[in-house]
Amino acid sequence: MTDITLAQARSVIDAALVRSHELGTAMNVAVVDAGGNLTAFDREDGAWRGSIDIAIRKARTARFFDMETADLGTMTAPGQPLYGIEVTNGGLVSFPGGVLLRVGDDIVGAVGVSGSTVDDDRAVAVAGAAALG
Amino acid sequence: MTDITLAQARSVIDAALVRSHELGTAMNVAVVDAGGNLTAFDREDGAWRGSIDIAIRKARTARFFDMETADLGTMTAPGQPLYGIEVTNGGLVSFPGGVLLRVGDDIVGAVGVSGSTVDDDRAVAVAGAAALG
Amino acid sequence: MTDITLAQARSVIDAALVRSHELGTAMNVAVVDAGGNLTAFDREDGAWRGSIDIAIRKARTARFFDMETADLGTMTAPGQPLYGIEVTNGGLVSFPGGVLLRVGDDIVGAVGVSGSTVDDDRAVAVAGAAALG
Amino acid sequence: MTDITLAQARSVIDAALVRSHELGTAMNVAVVDAGGNLTAFDREDGAWRGSIDIAIRKARTARFFDMETADLGTMTAPGQPLYGIEVTNGGLVSFPGGVLLRVGDDIVGAVGVSGSTVDDDRAVAVAGAAALG
Question: Has residue D16 got a pLDDT over 70?
Answer: yes
Distance CA B117, CA B20 (A): 12
Closest to D40 in 3D by CA, of D105, D117, D131, D133: D131
CB of D38 within 8 Å of a chain B CB? The answer is no
Between the alpha carbon of residue C132 and those of residues C12, C16, C29, C101, C126, the distances in Å are 7, 12, 16, 7, 11
Question: Which of A6, A37, A44 is closest, CB to CB, to D42?
Answer: A6
Residue type at B96?
P
Length of chain D: 133
Distance CA A125, CA A99 (A): 6
CB atoms D36 and B37 under 8 Å: yes
Using a CB-CB cut-off of 8 Å, the residues of chain C touching D90 are 53
Q: What is the pLDDT of residue C102?
A: 97
Q: What is the pLDDT of residue D31?
A: 98
Confidence grade of residue D1 (pLDDT, cut at 50, 70, 90): low
pLDDT in tens, A64-122: 999 999 999 999 999 999 999 999 999 999 999 999 999 999 999 999 999 999 999 99
Residue type at A72?
L
A71: exposed, middle or buried (C-beta count within 10 Å: 0-12, 13-18, 19+)? middle
Q: Regarding beta strands A98-103 and C98-103, do their DSSP bridges make them parallel or antiparallel, or are they unpaired?
A: unpaired
CB atoms C40 and B41 under 8 Å: yes
Question: Has residue A132 got a pLDDT over 90?
Answer: yes
CB atoms B44 and C10 under 8 Å: no
- Shortest CA distance from A49: residue in chain B: B64
A neighbours by CB contacts (3+ pairs under 8 Å): B, D
> What is the average pLDDT score of chain A?
96
> What is the average pLDDT score of chain D?
96
CB atoms B84 and A78 under 8 Å: no
Residue A62 gets the label, from left (phi > 0), alpha (psi -120 to 50) or beta, of: alpha
- Shortest CA distance from D90: residue in chain C: C91
Chains C and A touch (3+ CB pairs under 8 A): no
Using a CB-CB cut-off of 8 Å, the residues of chain B touching A93 are 84-85, 87-88
CB of A118 within 8 Å of a chain B CB? The answer is yes
Measured between CA atoms, how close is C114 to chain B, in angstroms? 13
Between the alpha carbon of residue C106 and those of residues C38, C129, D11, the distances in Å are 18, 13, 57
Distance CA B102, CA D61 (A): 28
Question: Has residue A1 got a pLDDT over 90?
Answer: no
Q: What is the pLDDT of residue A70?
A: 96
Residue A32 gets the label, from left (phi > 0), alpha (psi -120 to 50) or beta, of: beta
The residues of chain B scoring below 50 in pLDDT are none
CB of B90 within 8 Å of a chain C CB? The answer is no
Q: What is the pLDDT of residue B117?
A: 97
CB pairs under 8 A between B and D: 19
The residues of chain C scoring below 50 in pLDDT are none
CB of B36 within 8 Å of a chain D CB? The answer is yes
Interface test with A, best of B64, B87, B89, B105 (most A CBs within 10 A): B87
CB atoms A48 and B36 under 8 Å: no
CB of A105 within 8 Å of a chain D CB? The answer is no
Closest to B65 in 3D by CA, of B39, B42, B26, B32: B32
The answer to whether the CB of B28 falls within 8 A of the CB of B48 is yes
Question: Which of D79, D87, D89 is closest, CB to CB, to C50?
Answer: D89
3-state secondary structure of D25: coil
Q: What is the pLDDT of residue D116?
A: 97
CA C116 to chain CA centroid, Å, is 13
- Shortest CA distance from B75: residue in chain A: A117
B neighbours by CB contacts (3+ pairs under 8 Å): A, C, D
The answer to whether the CB of A17 falls within 8 A of the CB of D7 is no
Q: Which helix (H) or strand (E) holds B72?
A: helix B69-73
Distance CA D13, CA D40 (A): 8
For residues D107-132, give the mean pLDDT.
98
CB of C86 within 8 Å of a chain B CB? The answer is no
3-state secondary structure of B1: coil
Q: What is the pLDDT of residue B2?
A: 84
Distance CA C72, CA C122 (A): 13
Q: What is the pLDDT of residue C131?
A: 98
Q: What is the pLDDT of residue D2?
A: 84
CB atoms B49 and C37 under 8 Å: yes
Using a CB-CB cut-off of 8 Å, the residues of chain D touching A43 are 6, 37-40
Q: In what order do the strands lie in the sheet with B106-114?
A: B98-103, B106-114, B28-33, B38-43, C38-43, C28-33, C106-114, C98-103
CB atoms D85 and C54 under 8 Å: yes
Measured between CA atoms, how close is B39 to chain C, in angstroms? 5
Closest to B107 in 3D by CA, of B31, B29, B25: B31
For residues D47-69, give the mean pLDDT.
97
3-state secondary structure of C89: coil
pLDDT in tens, A38-65: 999 999 999 999 999 999 999 999 999 9
Distance CA D19, CA B100 (A): 42
- For residue A23, report the phi and psi dihedrals to the nearest 5 degrees: -85, -10
